[in-house]
Amino acid sequence: MSDKIRVAVIFGGQSSEHEVSRFSAESVISNINTDKYDVAMIGITKEGRWLPYDGPVGLIGTGEWQALAESQDRPNHALLTAGTAIAESERDNRKIDVVFPVLHGCNGEDGTIQGLLELAGIPYVGCGVLSSSLGMDKAYAKIVFEREGLPQGKYLVYSRKQINREFEKISDDVERVLSYPCFVKPSNAGSSVGVSKVRNAGELGPALQLAAKYDRRILIEEFIDGREIECAVLGNDDPVASTVGEVIPCNEFYDYEAKYLSGDSSQIIIPADLPAEVIERIREYSVRAFKALDCSGLARVDFFVRKADNEVFINEINTMPGFTQISMYSKLWAASGLPYEKLVERLIELALERFEDNKREIDY
C-alpha cells in the first residue's frame, strides 16, 4: 500500500469553460510531484457524466480522453458516497485523500461541486461554498466589495425577464447612470463568455440578449478607460499577494478569443510597469477582497488602473483561475519566486489545512 497522498484531479464539467478546464487540468497533472502524490483523474463530460480516466495525460487537453474512458469496460467508479470518497481505483481500491477540482465556471467554480465535496467529507483545493458562489456571481461580489470599501465602477443588474419586459427602462437607466460605452456580461460566467462592449444604444439590445443566454441575471458596468491588471492571492486565514501583471489584449478588450484562441497575440507583462505605490495598493486590495469573501487556497483578483490618473478599481475575483503554466495566476507566482510544481503542492497543503480547520464538534 502506497503512503503517498492520493489526489483526485477533476476536470471538464458542464460549463462554457469546459475546454479551458481540460487544459488547466492537463498542466496540473503533468507537473504534480509523483514522488509525493498519487493521482487519480476524473473527467466530467459536457453531458454531466463522471468518468474515471487512466490514459495518457496529453489526451485531456485535446478532448480525446473521453472516448478512451468510455471504451473501458468497467463500472463507473466516479460516484460520490456520502462522507467517504469521490472515486475508488480498481488498481488498489484506495480512497481519495484530497480533491483538486480544476473546474472553471458554472457547475464547478460556483460552489456546487464544493458543496458536494463538503457533504462527502473530502478535503478539496480552493475556496469553499460561500466564497466560490460569491466569486462566481459578479453582482453579489460587488455588494461585498462595496461593503469592504473597495473602489469599483458603477453598475446595474437586471434579470432576464426584466430585459424582455422593460427594455426601454433599462436603456434609459444606462443612459442616465452609466452612459456609453459600457460593458454587458452575464453575472455568473467566466473567461469573458457572453461579454460585450456596447458603444451606443443600438448595440444594447443584442448585447443583453447574448448575456442572457448564459445567465438569468445580467450585469451592465461602467466603462473605465484603464489598464487591465491582475494579482494572485494564495493562502487561507493569512493570505499573501503576488506581484502584479498587466494584460494588453490583442482585441478591443480581453475577451474569450483574446484569452484562448489568438495564440501569443495578447501580451502579459510581469511585473506591470506601474509606480510602486500603485502596485502595493493593488496587492492590498487583493488581500482585502480575498478576505472579504472568506476565500481559501487561491484566487486571482482583476483590476482596472485608470490611465488618466492611476486610480485603481476592482473588477472581479476568480476563485479557480486558469491554471496552465502560461496562465496569469501561475506566472505571477513564478515571478514571485514560487514555481508551478511548488504552487500545486502548496495548494494541496492549504486544502488539507482548511479541512482540519473546518471540522466541527457536534453533540448528538
Judge if 65 and 180 occupy the same domain. no
pLDDT of residue 15: 87
Same domain, 45 and 116: yes
Query: Among residues of the chain, what percentage have pLDDT more than 70?
Result: 88
Answer yes or no: is 343 within a domain. yes
Residue 130 lies inside a defined structural domain of this protein: no
| CATH number, domain containing residue 181 | 3.30.1490.20
Question: What is the model's pTM?
Answer: 0.89
* Last residue in a domain, options 173, 193, 222: 222
Handedness of CA 43, 49, 50, 52 (dihedral sign): negative
Range of the domain at 68: 5-124
What confidence tens digit (pLDDT) does each residue in 268-327 have? Answer: 999 999 999 999 999 999 999 999 999 999 999 999 999 999 999 999 999 999 999 889
**362 occurs within a structural domain:** no
Lowest mean pLDDT among 155-164, 180-189, 262-271: 262-271
Q: Assess whether 203 and 255 both reside in one domain.
A: no
The verdict on 174 and 275 lying in the same domain is no
Instruction: Judge whether 203 lies within some domain.
Output: yes
51 touches 17 (CB < 8 A): no
Residue 358 neighbours by CB under 8 Å, 6+ apart: 128
Domain count, the chain: 3
On whether residue 276 sits in a domain, the answer given is yes
What confidence score (pLDDT) does residue 338 get? Answer: 97
Same domain, 178 and 218: yes
pLDDT band at 265 (very low <50, low <70, confident <90, very high): low
Q: Note whether 57 and 193 are same-domain residues.
A: no
In a shared domain, residues 176 and 277: no
Q: Which residues face 248 on adjacent strands?
A: 267
Residue finishing a domain among 203, 222, 241: 222
| Antiparallel, parallel or unpaired: β 217-222 and 312-318 | unpaired
CA 253, distance to chain mean position in Å, is 19
Domain assignment of residue 38, yes or no: yes
Residues 239 and 294 both lie in one domain = yes
**CA-CA distance, 44 to 168, in Å (whole number)?**
41
Same domain, 247 and 186: no
State the virtual CA torsion across 134, 342, 97, 10 in degrees, nearest 10.
60
Structural domain contains residue 129: no
Instruction: Give yes or no: residues 348 and 238 share one domain.
Output: yes
Query: 34 and 57: one domain?
Result: yes
Residue 74 confidence (pLDDT): 55
Cell 474569450, located at residue: 256
- What digits encode the pLDDT tens for the residues 79-111? 443 333 354 444 556 789 999 999 998 888 999
Above 60 in pLDDT, residue 78? no
Determine, yes or no, domain membership for 107.
Answer: yes
Q: How far apart (Å, rounded) are the C-alpha atoms in residues 330 and 232?
A: 8
DSSP string of 202-261?
GGHHHHHHHHHTT-SEEEEEE---EEEEEEEEEESSS-EEEEEEEEE-SSSS--HIIIII
Same domain, 269 and 140: yes
